[in-house]
Structure 1
Amino acid sequence: MRLAVIADIHGNLDALEAVLQDLRTLMIDRLYINGDVVNRGPDSVACMERVLTLSGDLGLDAEFTLGNHDDLMLLWHEQSPLLPSEWLSDPFWGATAWSAGQLHAADLLAPIRRWPMSLRPDLVGLPQVVIAHGSPQHYREAIGLFTTPERGAELLSAQGAGVLVASHIHRPMLREQEGDWLINTGAVGAPFDGDPRARYLLLEGVEGVWTPSIRAVPYDRAGVLGRFETSGLLARGGLSARIFLEEIRSARSLYTPFWDWTAERGLGKDDAAWAIFRREHPDLFLPV
């Protein structure tokens, strides 16, 4: 039994296509897409269309979980009261508004509404696998190298799982815990560990035992980086779009550190603050 779990595509069609090409060589039995198909990159519509029509290509349909950025597209389109009202008028959220508008115009928000928070594949003769974007308790709970063994054991036990698969933080991890596995798939479209290759999880089940591995797939980033401009995202998305572009270029997390830094300083998320942030944190950026 071979399972593939891909996640955090984030509107990067070139990375997605590279992963799909790699999957064709593996003859997988099931494919799971663990949230955040959309937003950040310029190709949210194309990525949604692609993952919804895989059966004609890979010969099997994907199953999905809901990621926080997928859900954000719904909340933004509905101008949900669950979002802080000031976000809806803040230019910093221009990239999110652009992506949500593109998905609405293409009538691609409806499928997202059907995606569950977690999946429990029924795989007879193998330890239970549980798949969730963050954790089964919340799609924003981060699971990674910083997760304590105690928290990992608690999550595995609560789910009755032999394998718990998370994503969300864009950094891959394989951790064995007393015969069980706590895993992060890493990101297809926007890795944050300095390695720009698209990452995903392969799980191979043989004789009642799962063996996980992280696949790393190189691809040419010139196309997706160029489409930030040609798609209109860079012009309409403003500062957040420029940050998302820089994250793909550098394979490093910038958006969240900038967010946290402005909160600590009591600053707005604007170009002036971004310039100061860049000067104070040159280690986060590649040479221009």
Structure 2
Amino acid sequence: MKVAIFSDVQGNLPAFNAAIDRILAWGPELVVMAGDLINRGPSSLACLERFDTLRRSHGWLPVNGNHETWIQQCGREPPRDALAAEMRRFADWTYQQIAPRLDALVDWPDHLCFHAETEASWVHVTHGTLASNRCGISDRVPDADLRGVLPQDVALFVTAHTHRPLERVLDGLPILNVGSVGSPFDGDPRGSFALLRFERGAWRSEIVRFAYDRQQAARDFDDLGFIEQGGPVARILFEEWKRARPLMSGWRSDFEPAVLAGERELSAAVGAFLATLG
């Protein structure tokens, strides 16, 4: 059995198209999208429509990510004040973009399980862990923090969310983080996804890194309005994509508190934060 699993496209259509071509050429029997297809990038609607077409034509399966959850919440709940509206403007921009196709997000599960020809071959796929789709697994998470938030009696646990590919084992359970198609955070700008084969009674996994047209992706951030219309925080997200490194945690710890306290204006604070990056 051949299975492809990918995640965290983040509205990056050139990367998604390149991943699709690679996956279709490999010819898997099952393809799972493990969340965060949308948001943080300029082409959420196009990515959603492309995935929905593959879901209908090839049986590709979705799993909810935290960004699917959040964007739909943004559509239901207005921002509490003007500052909150400005800080989440990129997300509300994404919601307006995908609003005509919200039907394509209906009934996405938080978890998905499948198996090969034996009952001992169950695979559990989710965006984070059993605790939350915002609870990612990296090499820094202690084993003790993972006990109790992973399923039992499965042959393989597949996760995403951190934008970093990873393979580790906890108490005999293999864990596979498939990384990110559209916005890796490990310093390698190439996208990633995972290929699984069930051979000789066990799952064999491979992380695939692939190049795509990053010049077109950069133009999309500008040409499609994400930078101009997404508010100041969109500039940080674009810089994360360019550097293939996480930046939001630094923003939130060192600059956002002063903005929330009314001590600094948002756009100026974002500019000052970006200036510290060199």
Is the shorter-chain TM-score for this pair beyond 0.5, marking a shared fold? Answer: yes
Per-residue deviation, 1:161: 1.9
Residue 79 of structure 1: which of 70, 77, 83 is its match?
Answer: 77
Residue 231 of structure 1: which of 217, 224, 236 is its match?
Answer: 224
Quote the Cα distance in structure 1 between the aligned partners of 2:112 and 2:55.
20
Pair 1:277-2:273 in alignment: yes
Of residues 7-16 and 223-232 in structure 1, the stretch that sits farther from structure 2 once superposed is 223-232
Secondary structure at 2:176 match in 1: strand
**Equivalences for residues 1-288 of structure 1 within 5 A:** 1-54=1-54, 60-79=58-77, 85-86=80-81, 89-104=84-99, 107-125=100-118, 126-156=120-150, 158-263=151-256, 270-282=266-278
Secondary structure at 2:105 match in 1: helix
Gaps of 5+ in 2: none
Quote the Cα distance in structure 2 between the aligned partners of 1:269 and 1:33.
38
Per-residue deviation, 1:281: 4.4
Does the 8 A contact of 2:233 with 2:270 survive in 1? no
Per-residue deviation, 1:190: 0.5
Per-residue deviation, 1:117: 0.8
Number of residues of Structure 1 aligned to a counterpart in Structure 2: 274
Gaps of 5+ in 1: 283-288
Secondary structure at 1:175 match in 2: strand
Quote the Cα distance in structure 2 between the aligned partners of 1:238 and 1:140.
23
Quote the Cα distance in structure 1 between the aligned partners of 2:81 and 2:246.
24
TM-superposition CA deviations, 1:152-171 (whole Å, max 9, x none): 45444x43222111111101
Quote the Cα distance in structure 2 between the aligned partners of 1:37 and 1:205.
26
Identity of aligned residues (%): 29
TM-score (norm 1): 0.87
Quote the Cα distance in structure 2 between the aligned partners of 1:31 and 1:269.
45
Quote the Cα distance in structure 2 between the aligned partners of 1:277 and 1:235.
18
Change in 2 beyond 3 A, CA 1:274/1:202? same
Does the 8 A contact of 1:202 with 1:214 survive in 2? yes
One-letter amino acid of the structure 1 residue matched with residue 272 of structure 2? I
Quote the Cα distance in structure 1 between the aligned partners of 2:200 and 2:81.
54
Change in 2 beyond 3 A, CA 1:101/1:88? farther
Quote the Cα distance in structure 1 between the aligned partners of 2:73 and 2:246.
24
Per-residue deviation, 1:54: 1.4
TM-score (norm 2): 0.90
Secondary structure at 1:205 match in 2: strand
Quote the Cα distance in structure 1 between the aligned partners of 2:148 and 2:201.
23
Change in 2 beyond 3 A, CA 1:228/1:116? same
Change in 2 beyond 3 A, CA 1:96/1:112? same
Secondary structure at 1:52 match in 2: helix
Quote the Cα distance in structure 1 between the aligned partners of 2:15 and 2:162.
17
Does the 8 A contact of 2:48 with 2:104 survive in 1? no
One-letter amino acid of the structure 2 residue matched with residue 23 of structure 1? I
Quote the Cα distance in structure 2 between the aligned partners of 1:130 and 1:87.
41
Secondary structure at 1:191 match in 2: coil
Quote the Cα distance in structure 2 between the aligned partners of 1:162 and 1:227.
40
Does the 8 A contact of 1:117 with 1:136 survive in 2? no
